[in-house]
Amino acid sequence: MSWLTILWLVPAVTAVGVLAVPASRADVAKWIGLGGSLVTLALSIGLAVGFDPNGARYQFISDVEWIPSFGARYQLGLDGIGLVLVLLTTVLLPLLILAGWPDADHTGSLDHAGGRRQKGPHVYIALMLSVEAMVVMSFVATDVLLFYLVFEAMLIPMYFLIGGFGSGPARSAAAVKFLLYNLFGGLLMLAAVIGLYVVTANASIGEDGHGTFGLPAIADAVADGRLHSDSGVMMLLFGGFMIAFAIKAPLWPFHSWLPDSAVAATPASAVLMMAVVDKVGTFAMLRFCLLLFPEASKTFAPLIITLAVIGIVYGAILTIGQTDVMRLIAYTSISHFGFIIVGIFALTPQSQGGATLYMVNHGISTAALFLIAGFLVSRRGSRIIADYGGVQKVAPVLAGTFLVAGLATLSLPGLAPFVSEFLVLVGTFTRYPMAAVAATSALVLSAIYILWLYQRMMGGPVRPVEGPGAARAAMPDLRLRERVVVAPLLVLLLVLGFYPQPLLDLIDPVVDHTISTVQPESGGAR
């Protein structure tokens, strides 16, 4: 059994083990889940230590016959980009389980909508671990059909995390909206996967003259010109993949499911969705769209960059007008995903390296800001910004950590997102200067919404609680469990802000290979 198989099996088996725990033993279920996520983290660190950035593109390979009748294989391989996203996932999951520790305890209690939750803590933890297993598998799958299956399967546990453990009267509608949007994209991708297999069969790319789903084999055939097909067909296939990934990311105008789902879910589940699951979409653009359809990628790059820039500005403007703190943070992600997608399709080494680094940094900064906001909301019971004020006077640690996470979100120099955003803008400017200039306007807008948010919630006089003469001076500061969750995230934001080179050393060789495939004339040179 390969190490990559063990990597995704550990959280999957742990999820099954957690479900076997009696509902009355809530603490046992949570500790088992936390232990399983820590073992997965240890395994990913071991893979990172054993990974050679200058070695073969795919390492720790597993290749086993799966469905021989039509060329599907259980094929796994880890490259530098997959590795950094696996590390992001496995680092965040233990912290999210700790952050959601109280959220799992609502069995049988009334939620904010007045309905009664029937799910137990073991179900909540098992769903979180199931998502982790599928996301990790998506980052290492090098068989297109295998990737498609886990790409779709991860929707199921996320649907139940939003609809079953979320809060508010709109949680069911938000869960259905999330599912329908992504299933629509998945259907288009399924048609494209089938079409891709037919194209490879016509070109006799697979064994014995049949088709194949193997990404390395198809990518090599595309690169050396052995995969011949009508350009219109390849454009359609690219569209099927790209729309599915654009919905998952999400790219404007496919974004409207994200704010509703983020607000309806628990903070930990929302972070799992925005910081981890959505990265599968942008990762897949790099791995599948560019390698399998280089000509279509170049043809559609101006259109995709235009949509991404609209998303950057649109997301930032809508963020300023939000009155719900959780919805405000969710809208910032639409803007940030626009930067990532611009970087991918600008097709320069700097922009793609920055975009990949941005995936990691966005995951960390969004996790920090959203979780800290969730801790604050859990104290007051309100997501409305106007209900807060003077928090820094009664909970200075909470306010201080919120400020650092907010400054990271607006890409302050010295914090991790600045490096990635700078690389994206520099790399984009060399090919699409107007797009880079337009995207830069979001830097001003982000400063407005983050600093104004902090001023309204954390500054000023302590806002009284509803009721005559009541004051919120008793609001507790961050507790030990919450500090354990937040501290590693802030440390990572600082360390990667000053020294991102270890991640770039993993990312750059993959980016150079991708650029040399899509833009052979550039040679992938920096």
Give pLDDT, residue 522: 54
> Does residue 497 belong to any structural domain of this protein?
yes
Specify burial of residue 1 (Cβ count, 10 A radius: 0-12, 13-18, 19+).
Answer: exposed
Q: How far apart are CA 336 and CA 250, in angstroms?
A: 10
Give the range of the structural domain holding residue 449, as residue numbers without chain letter: 301-526
> In 3D, which of 94, 69, 307, 305 has the Cα closest to residue 210?
69
Give pLDDT, residue 389: 82
Give pLDDT, residue 266: 86
Give pLDDT, residue 118: 46
Number of domains comprising the chain: 1
DSSP string covering 4-34: HHHHHHHHHHHHHHHHTS-TT-HHHHHHHHH
Give pLDDT, residue 371: 92
> Does residue 74 belong to any structural domain of this protein?
no
Give pLDDT, residue 254: 84
Q: Assess contact for 295 and 166: CB atoms under 8 A.
A: no
Tell me the CA distances in angstroms from 399 to 176, 346, 372, 461, one per residue in order: 35, 38, 9, 14
> Does residue 313 belong to any structural domain of this protein?
yes
> Does residue 291 belong to any structural domain of this protein?
no
The per-residue pLDDT string of the chain (526 residues; one tens digit each, 9 = 90 and over) reads: 789 999 999 999 999 998 888 877 778 888 899 999 999 999 999 999 999 988 888 999 888 888 877 778 899 999 999 999 999 999 999 999 988 877 666 543 444 444 434 467 788 889 999 999 999 999 999 999 999 999 999 999 998 888 888 777 778 888 888 888 889 988 999 999 998 888 888 777 766 667 888 888 888 888 777 777 667 888 899 999 999 999 988 888 888 888 888 888 888 888 898 888 989 999 999 989 998 888 888 889 999 999 999 999 888 888 888 888 888 988 888 888 889 999 999 989 999 999 999 999 999 999 999 999 988 888 887 888 888 888 888 888 988 999 999 999 888 888 999 999 999 999 999 888 998 898 888 888 888 888 888 888 888 777 765 543 344 445 788 889 889 999 999 999 999 999 999 999 999 898 888 888 777 665 444 4
> Does residue 278 belong to any structural domain of this protein?
no
> Does residue 19 belong to any structural domain of this protein?
no
How open is the CA angle 252-256-261, to the nearest 5 degrees?
A: 130
> Does residue 258 belong to any structural domain of this protein?
no
> Does residue 143 belong to any structural domain of this protein?
no
Q: How far apart are CA 311 and CA 438, in angstroms?
A: 11
